[in-house]
Amino acid sequence: MPNNTIHNLRYLKPYRKSLRNHGTSAEATLWKSLQKRQLDGKKFRRQHSIGNFIVDFFCFEEKLAIELYGSVHDDPLVAMNDERKTEYLKSHGIQVIRFENRAVFENLDAVLEMIRGSFNHP
């Protein structure tokens, strides 16, 4: 069971809700394939916070965070924050995989296969 004291901290709830309500079209497209346990029966959450960071999608069972990114992440300061987020998540045993928004639109099947390939099969 994950350490719930770092998950979905109350003070981040308005930010998580805002991100869910104003998500990108790439997030909406990927969510259609992840919601309701559609991918190998795994439950994913949207805009889930871990510590002070909010990830686009998270699967508790697999300890897997999925991040989508666009051109804003080319900014050095944003990229540095992404690296800090990744290191924090790794320190809590969470694997992080990232996809460009474009990949979701151009080859959703390949993105889903990469996510599936990240599952820790027994």
pLDDT at 71: 76
Which pLDDT score is estimated for 14?
Answer: 96
Distance of CA 63 to the CA centre of its chain: 11
User: What interhelical angle do 25-34 and 108-117 show, nearest 10?
Assistant: 60
The predicted pLDDT at position 81 comes to 93
Q: In this structure, which topology does domain 4-117 adopt according to CATH?
A: Endonuclease; Chain A (3.40.960)
Phi, psi of 118 (to 5 degrees): -85, -10
**pLDDT, tens digit, for every residue of 17-74?**
999 999 999 999 999 999 999 999 999 999 999 999 999 999 999 999 999 998 777 7
